[in-house]
Amino acid sequence: MPGRPDPPRPIPGPAPWRGRRDAILTVAAGALCALAQPPLYLLPLLFVGFGLLFRRLEAIDRPGPALAAGWLFGIGYFSAGLYWLGLPVVIDVPGDLTRDLLLGAGLVGFPAAAVAAGALGARLTARRRVGSAAGAAAGAVLVLALWIALAVAVLPGRFTWMIPFNVFGLGAVLAATTAAAAGIAWYAAPGGIRRVLALAAAWAALEWVRGTILTGFPWIPAATVWAGLPGAAQSLAWWGPFGLSLVTVALAVLPAALIGRPCSIVRSRRTLGWAGGVAAMSGAVLAAGFFTVPATVEAVPGVRLRVVQGAVAQSLKWRPGARRPILLRYAALTRSEGFNGITHVVWPETALPYRLQTRHAAVAVEGDIRRLLLAAIPDRGVLITGANRDAGRDTWNSIHVVDKAGEPVSTYDKHHLVPFGEYVPARAFLGRIEVTKIAHGRRDYAFGPGPRSIAVPGAPDASPLICYEAIFPAEAVGARRPGWLLNLTNDAWFGNSAGPHQHLAAARLRTIEQGLPMVRAANTGISAVVDPWGRVTGLLPLGARGVLDADLPRARPPTLYARYGDLVFLFLLLAVAALSRFAPGRPAEAPRPDAGPRERTSKPPLQ
């Protein structure tokens, strides 16, 4: 109508938070980042996933949605990256097809039903006093209750009902760290390059927290995406995995900071200069290692290794009738062609189904069992094997170095046990409601004294790491520096999934950090010998049965990380935090000449 002013036009900028669609997109962004982890190593998806998270943060104007965005991103990241944690709870179910169907029901059917029920609940209650959020939660909880009832009453397996908790529940808990990182980045930095640095620093700092609190779980840090390219991962020797994660996230987020508002960004030479500087420094850190890694590494003289991979199914491992056949398998593999030239035989975690130190006669190494074991020990060497041992009421998950007389000359007891796998936390309370551990036996394993080196006759001292002890960078070595890392594990729990590949990748990071080679024996794979630069020099693939004969690579001098640990990362973190105060934020929009007063003042300058 004549005389009526035109309605104010919206200020161009990032799209607002749009509810369910944005939530789904944020979860998907986290899942895309998980695909950059082993075994796929789809590195371009890291840029896409982190870029979507950054753009989402740029579109948010309140702290609550920023925290929610980080939490949803983390749920997608950890649920997709750790999907294989659903396998251990169905390991007691006979038949590969049955296990796969149960896993599919828990990982696909359950979330699909929960989302559908949540959407229906939200729709039915949208106009009622309780609100759509409460209706969605009620629908999802109802599906969860039905799943538990169905799994307990009908589906096979004692722990099948735990699949959603192991994957999505754990993912939601771990996502608290990504929520905190996103919230810190949103609050501390007004967009632009400043937020790039803030998000990278917060992400790395919260990875350190995740690896420390509540016994820690530093699985699939951002740094692991470079395990397949050891040259790019050599900065681990300076500042460890969390420092490399900071560099990785900064590089992955950076392109998203240059997308959108093209006119403002082109005019900001300062922004482009900072972006170029961050890209150049991150690229230099990743590229430097390719020029410093030597072509070959010397071997320790007089040491010839034989790593034995027995490929014993987890369903057979603890059956009393399978003990002798398992020992016969390992003995036969050990004494196969080339045995006469071997000095050190390495068997995986709990490969010996009997006990060298025990009060139980049924599992004692005596008589014919002792003769079989002695036949697997080289005449001029030792056998290194995983085996349980007990004394009094305590049982340990241990490593023995056994000489030709069949006596343990060194013993190491696992100290970092798997919660609910090897022990039940807060057993005084949880034991009353019949919560049990997943691993064999009802009694908890006892904790060993901690990281330390053990003597290995005929070879340098070794730092033992049993199973997932290899994922903790600060616990790879004890007070006395060893000559090599020894990782014995049983990854049969995780089947033919991403889990064993991620486990090996984490172990490879420890070699670069410490400048030490690693010998890794895994029951079903992946067994390997890794040099101190993180390169695999020999490997037995997942699921294979056989032996790996190899030399022991010589260690490097102690690295910066080996000397000072995470202190170097702390200095890097403080430096990046200080530097971010000078970095440009999101360039401000210049108001249009025809804009009204409210429109001119609705978004303050951010640079």
Q: Are strands 518-522 and 344-346 parallel, antiparallel or unpaired?
A: unpaired
Within 10 angstroms of residue 127's Cβ, the number of other Cβ atoms is 8
Q: What angle do CA 350, 353, 356 make, to 5 degrees?
A: 90
CB 138 within 8 A of CB 117: no
The number of CA neighbours under 13 Å toward the Cβ of 103 is: 23
**Enclosing H/E stretch for 197:** helix 192-210
Name the packing angle between helices 192-210 and 170-188 (round to 10°).
150
User: What residue type is assigned to position 59 of the chain?
Assistant: A
Known catalytic residue at 263: no
Catalytic-role residue among 33, 58, 207, 349 = 349
Q: Are strands 344-346 and 382-391 parallel, antiparallel or unpaired?
A: parallel
**Enclosing H/E stretch for 371:** helix 367-375
Catalytic-role residue among 33, 207, 317, 414 = 414
Name the packing angle between helices 44-58 and 20-34 (round to 10°).
150
Catalytic-role residue among 33, 207, 422, 467 = 467
Buried b (16+ CB within 10 A) or exposed e, 567-597: ebbbebbeebeeebeebbbbbebeeeeeeee
Can you list the positions of beta strands (E) in 348-427? 382-391, 394-402, 408-413
* DSSP code for 156: S
Three-state secondary structure along 410-458? EEEECCCCCECCCECCCHHHHHHHCCCCCCCCCCCCCCCCCCCCECCCC
Known catalytic residue at 414: yes
Between CA 343 and CA 377 the distance in angstroms is 9
Q: What are phi and psi of 534, to 5 degrees?
A: 85, 5
Can you list the positions of beta strands (E) in 78-173? none
Spell out the alpha helix ranges (H) of 438-542: 498-514
Query: In this structure, what token pair is assigned to residue 151?
Result: 């799994």
* DSSP code for 377: S
Query: In this structure, what token pair is assigned to residue 206?
Result: 């919260």
Scan for tokens 């599992």, then name that residue. 363
Q: Is the dihedral of CA 266, 269, 273, 274 positive or negative?
A: negative
Q: What DSSP line would sit under 221-276, residue for residue?
A: -GGGGGTT-GGGGTTHHHHHHHHHHHHHHHHHHHHHHTSS-HHHHHH-HHHHHHHH
Between CA 57 and CA 449 the distance in angstroms is 45
Between CA 297 and CA 444 the distance in angstroms is 42
Write out the catalytic residue numbers.
349, 414, 467
